[in-house]
């Protein structure tokens, strides 16, 4: 199997924390060829190249930056450079989309125009119609798009899905989930894009648990209401930085999701997150799934650093010693990227045979482990409904599926 070259668009936090280490490891293992990274300007690229954490793990690895900090100044911006960089790839390589939510669509379109397979961070796009357009275009060209909902590759989610599919949890009744990001995110580049007019905490991070409930139970969301509290970032921009979302599913079950940039910097976890789902087995008994996704049984107290007491998550993304030089990334953050890249490579290996590639896409869609535009576009409907709701102060928005699928405010007679 030939190695796919990679163009990553976006060099921010998720690229640093999860995507680039995963790509380097897959490159090390012989699955990927050259890695190029394109960002809006040079500072994030320089930070990536100089990251002590990444360099300790991958002393032998490097990427080609676009733009190159040796050629242009740090304040110069290149919003369209990704088009040229993607165009420089041979057909059916891999484009990784890791730009802010509202830019995914534009990068996806360029990737498809140039016949590229894609790994896209969640959410795929912010509008259902765009997801359908992307799905049709990709399928017509036999191109794979994997949406990186990494919580799906956490073994506890896979176990819950397996047991739910086997009927062991009965019927979903209700549940609650939360994912509260640390306070210091307010000081990051988030303040430039995660603002009221673009997105909100429910859209940005709540989508993981909404996706997970459908992934586990197989139920589609049918209505959404999101109440958001506006807070100011240090740069003066406003964001919906505390959100309370309520999602009703097609069987009448309901999930409440709390999201925020509000977890104290001094608190022990990297963030606070978890999920509880209640089910019912007829009139006989109830069932529970209870996931503590933050505290996973590990306690550290370190000699230095900000936190005296720390509860690291060993399951998401950690570097551990291995047989080679440096460290290797482990956890569902790595496994999720690995799985998507393997699926892309499987489709790429079908070469010029369009119908063989499409048959593989059908198989991947039907299996439902990797989120694809076809099997997960309920997420785009939820995002659209969530945005409509939050901008209207939390009004309930209903989702219609099928021909003419879309969202609308609930009407009361």
Ligand X SMILES: NC(=O)c1ccc[n+]([C@@H]2O[C@H](COP(=O)([O-])OP(=O)(O)OC[C@H]3O[C@@H](n4cnc5c(N)ncnc54)[C@H](O)[C@@H]3O)[C@@H](O)[C@H]2O)c1
**What does the alpha-carbon distance between residue 129 and residue 112 come to, in Å, rounded to a whole number?**
16
Piece in contact with ligand X (CB under 6 A), picked from 10-18, 24-32, 346-354, 388-396: 10-18
Buried/exposed code over 247-285 (b: 16+ C-beta within 10 A; e: otherwise): bbbbeebbbebbbbbbbeeebbbbbbbebebbbbeeeee
At closest approach, how far in Å is the CB of 175 from ligand X?
Answer: 20
Give whichever of 170 and 312 is closer to ligand X, judged by the CB atom. 312
Piece in contact with ligand X (CB under 6 A), picked from 32-40, 52-60, 244-252, 305-313: 32-40
Under the binding rule (CB under 6 A), the answer on residue 65 touching ligand X is: no
Calculated CA dihedral for residues 97, 27, 65, 62, nearest 10 degrees: 150
**What does the alpha-carbon distance between residue 238 and residue 196 come to, in Å, rounded to a whole number?**
6
Residue labelled with tokens 């809006």: 40
**What does the alpha-carbon distance between residue 46 and residue 69 come to, in Å, rounded to a whole number?**
7
Residue labelled with tokens 């019927």: 171
Pick from 3, 5, 13, 141 the residue near ligand X by CB under 6 A.
13
284, 296, 293, 332: which is closest to 169 by C-alpha? 284
**What does the alpha-carbon distance between residue 304 and residue 314 come to, in Å, rounded to a whole number?**
19
Give whichever of 21 and 44 is closer to ligand X, judged by the CB atom. 44
CB nearest ligand X: which residue? Answer: 12
Residue labelled with tokens 């209505």: 223
x/- contact string, 117-146, with ligand X (CB under 6 A)? ----xx------------------------
Give whichever of 38 and 277 is closer to ligand X, judged by the CB atom. 38
Give whichever of 96 and 360 is closer to ligand X, judged by the CB atom. 96
Phi and psi at residue 85, to the nearest 5°: -65, -40
Pick from 59, 79, 314, 324 the residue near ligand X by CB under 6 A.
79
Q: What residues numbered 191-210 form the site for ligand X, per CB under 6 A?
A: 204
At closest approach, how far in Å is the CB of 386 from ligand X?
Answer: 14
Count of CA atoms in the C-beta half-sphere (13 A) of 33: 14
Give whichever of 80 and 352 is closer to ligand X, judged by the CB atom. 80
Q: What residues numbered 90-109 form the site for ligand X, per CB under 6 A?
A: 98-101, 103
**What does the alpha-carbon distance between residue 401 and residue 189 come to, in Å, rounded to a whole number?**
36
At closest approach, how far in Å is the CB of 21 from ligand X?
Answer: 13
**What does the alpha-carbon distance between residue 142 and residue 360 come to, in Å, rounded to a whole number?**
9
Residues that bind ligand X (CB under 6 A): 9-15, 38-40, 44, 79, 82, 98-101, 103, 121-122, 150, 189, 204
């Amino acid at each position: 199997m030939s190695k796919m070259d990679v163009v990553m668009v976006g060099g921010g936090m998720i690229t640093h924390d999860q995507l680039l280490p995963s790509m380097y490891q897959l490159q090390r293992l012989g699955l990927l060829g050259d890695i190029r990274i394109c960002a809006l300007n040079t500072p994030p690229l320089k930070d990536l190249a100089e990251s002590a954490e990444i360099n300790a793990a991958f002393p032998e690895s490097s990427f080609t930056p676009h733009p190159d900090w040796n050629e242009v100044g740090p304040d110069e911006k290149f919003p369209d450079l990704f088009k040229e960089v993607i165009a420089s790839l041979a057909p059916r390589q891999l484009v990784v989309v890791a730009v802010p939510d509202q830019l995914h669509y534009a990068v996806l379109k360029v990737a498809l125009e140039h016949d590229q397979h894609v790994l896209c961070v969640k959410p795929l796009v912010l509008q259902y119609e765009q997801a359908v357009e992307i799905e049709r275009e990709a399928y017509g060209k036999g191109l794979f798009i994997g949406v990186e909902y990494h919580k799906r590759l956490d073994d506890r989610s896979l176990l819950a899905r397996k047991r739910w599919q086997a009927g062991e949890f009965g019927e979903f009744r209700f549940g609650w989930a939360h994912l509260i990001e640390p306070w210091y995110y307010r000081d990051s580049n988030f303040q430039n894009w995660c603002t009221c007019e673009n997105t909100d905490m429910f859209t940005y991070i709540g989508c993981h648990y909404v996706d997970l409930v459908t992934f586990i139970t197989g139920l589609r969301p049918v209505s959404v209401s999101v109440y958001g509290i506006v807070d100011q970032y240090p740069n003066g921009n406003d964001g919906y930085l505390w959100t309370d979302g309520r999602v009703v599913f097609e069987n009448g079950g309901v999930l409440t999701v709390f999201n925020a940039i509000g977890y104290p910097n001094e608190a022990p976890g990297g963030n606070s997150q978890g999920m509880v789902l209640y089910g019912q087995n007829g009139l006989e008994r109830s069932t529970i799934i209870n996931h503590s996704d933050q505290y996973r049984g590990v306690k550290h107290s370190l000699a230095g650093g900000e936190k005296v007491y720390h509860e690291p998550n060993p399951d998401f993304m950690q570097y551990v010693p291995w047989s080679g030089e440096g460290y290797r990334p482990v956890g569902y953050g790595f496994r999720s990227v690995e799985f998507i890249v393997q699926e892309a490579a499987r489709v790429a290996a079908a070469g010029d045979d369009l119908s063989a590639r499409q048959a593989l896409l059908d198989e991947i869609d039907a299996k439902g482990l990797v989120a694809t535009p076809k099997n997960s576009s309920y997420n785009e409907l939820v995002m659209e409904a969530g945005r409509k709701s939050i901008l209207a102060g939390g009004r309930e928005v209903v989702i219609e599926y099928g021909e003419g699928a879309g969202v609308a405010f609930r009407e009361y007679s």
